[in-house]
Structure 1
Amino acid sequence: MNQVINFYRKQPAGISVNGESISAEAIDAVAEQFADAPEPREAAARALVVRTLLRQQAIRQGIEADDEEGALERLIEQEVPASEVSDAEVRRYFEANRDKFRSGDLFEVRHILFELAPDDDKTELARKADAVLLALKNDPEAFERIAREQSACSSAALGGSLGQITRDAVVPEFWSALVGQGKPGLLPHPVESRFGLHIIRIDRCALGEALPFEAVEKRIRPFLAARLEQVSYQRYIARLIEAAQIVGIDLGEDVTLGTGHGLPSE
């Protein structure tokens, strides 16, 4: 039965695992490895508990190695064997996620940005953008000139040209509008993003195509295997925690402690 007493999140101290203490100094020594965590010392303490559990288990099972790291690796290999993924599982994942397996779309685009500052009147800005859009529908050749005169984007100097862009080059709203249009031409409505309102013209586009199963099978299989291994590892750690006497830290019911030996790789 896992015996746990309250954990002081800000200052983990007095932690022990099956009677073996984890000092505050030990936690401090590895906390910098968790600098990106919301609570670095808490994350470090949790990781050290996991590592201690694994080391104790390796000793109980008589696993020998040149060093502690090697012993822990042998324990994990023994207790969390590599997951086998069937052909059917790979095929099911592919069929359920076809939208993820496409060659990338490519657009050559120009835009005019009407920047929206916090104190700007959004309604007035929308009227201005609509008026410019109407003018461009009547005179498409004026796009570059108006972009140079009115766009708040640095691309104004290039007549609004953003060159060739892919999904990662623009904000999601902008990209969704491009994909929704899917062909060269002036988009029928201004597009709103966190930057303001965009009038967009697609000059050229090359739409991606769905990739065949054979082209992505070798990417899917290791991904699924790693995911299964992660689940198996977390279940194994949860069993060790349940059987242990842990004092001074509450690991919670959802044990999401990562893979490996409890500490991030160097």
Structure 2
Amino acid sequence: MGIAVNGVEITDEEIELELPHHKDAANPVKQAVHEVVLRHLLLQEVERLGLDQGNEDSDDVRIEALFAREVRVPEADEAACRRYYQSQQERFSSGAMVEARHILFQVTQSAPLDLLRETGELILAELQAHPERFEELAREYSNCPSGAVGGNLGQLSRGQCVAEFEQLLFRLQPGELAGRLLETRFGLHIVQAQRRIEGTVLPFEAVKAQIADELQRQSWQRALHQYLHILVGKANIEGVSLDGADSPLVQ
């Protein structure tokens, strides 16, 4: 059975054109199908609401006009911003640094993710029992150039490494070994924080606008997820099971 949205068939050509945009997704074909189906659904809603009006705007502009009309969220007030500031002060410190080391297990064709995970878990267990072996095991197993110096990455400040690595690293106490493998686009990491230099927390007024933008973005994404779920729930979608939030449209 083919794929259709409210009786309008999705062609293989449309999916093939969309596919290159999702080559890095875990399941590129599934992601491309979801994106095409959602785009059809949204453009049908544009037409139903009369937002098209016969102009020559691109599909993206039409969809943005639909979102502007249908997805609205209140601005973050000062009280909400202050609560966020108090709960996330580590994010708003200036000059904080952590001396870190890691062991990287890089995904390759000859070393698939499952095999790397199994190896990583064994090495992590060994380090939990014998932390003094970190440098030795980093030199033997790490696929990062830092392996040659025992996994030492030097002093890292915020913004110098990928977000998921930074989030984990700055939560660790000096000397603490993360109790799980960390997965990033580079592979799997065993992470240990060493010496830590605390920074100065920026005053609320200096980051108020940044916080308001972040809270506004989060609220808008939640509202958009809800809106897409409602549209999907009302639509007659054949040939595919679609989660309305599973789309780059909501990023």
- TM score, norm. by length of structure 1: 0.60
| 1:57 equivalenced with 2:51 (yes/no) | no
Letter in 2 for 1:246: I
Q: Which residue of 2 aligns with 1:27?
A: 15
Q: Which residue of 2 aligns with 1:232?
A: 223
| 1:98 equivalenced with 2:98 (yes/no) | no
Q: Which residue of 2 aligns with 1:180?
A: 174
1:22 Cα deviation after fit: 0.2
Counterparts of 1:117-132 in structure 2, within 5 Å, are 129=132
Distance change in 2, residues 1:234/1:102 (3 Å): same
1:17 Cα deviation after fit: 0.6
1:106 Cα deviation after fit: 3.6
Counterparts of 1:207-226 in structure 2, within 5 Å, are 207-226=198-217
Distance change in 2, residues 1:231/1:206 (3 Å): closer
Q: Quick check: 1:31–1:40 contact (8 Å CA) kept in 2? A: yes
- SS of the equivalent of 2:19 reads helix
| 1:241 equivalenced with 2:232 (yes/no) | yes
Q: Quick check: 2:34–2:247 contact (8 Å CA) kept in 1? A: no
Gaps of 5+ in 2: 104-119, 140-146, 182-188
1:62 Cα deviation after fit: 1.1
Q: Quick check: 1:16–1:248 contact (8 Å CA) kept in 2? A: yes
1:83 Cα deviation after fit: 3.9
What is the RMSD of the two structures over their aligned residues, measured on CA atoms?
A: 4.3
Work out which of the two has the higher radius of gyration on C-alpha atoms and give 1 or 2.
1
Q: Quick check: 2:34–2:246 contact (8 Å CA) kept in 1? A: yes
1:249 Cα deviation after fit: 0.6
Q: Quick check: 2:34–2:242 contact (8 Å CA) kept in 1? A: yes
> Higher mean Cα deviation, 23-32 or 218-227?
23-32
Give the distance between the partners of 1:175 and 1:47, measured in 2 at CA: 34
- SS of the equivalent of 1:180 reads coil
Letter in 2 for 1:257: D
Q: Which residue of 2 aligns with 1:48?
A: 36
Give the distance between the partners of 1:247 and 1:237, measured in 2 at CA: 17
1:67 Cα deviation after fit: 2.2
| 1:256 equivalenced with 2:245 (yes/no) | yes
Q: Which residue of 1 aligns with 2:108?
A: none
Give the distance between the partners of 2:152 and 2:5, measured in 1 at CA: 62
Which structure is higher in RCO with an 8 Å CA cutoff and minimum separation 6?
1
Give the distance between the partners of 1:178 and 1:242, measured in 2 at CA: 43
Q: Quick check: 1:177–1:191 contact (8 Å CA) kept in 2? A: no
1:248 Cα deviation after fit: 0.5
Match of 2:57 among 67, 73, 76: 67
Q: Quick check: 1:233–1:259 contact (8 Å CA) kept in 2? A: no
Gaps of 5+ in 1: 1-12, 131-146, 182-188
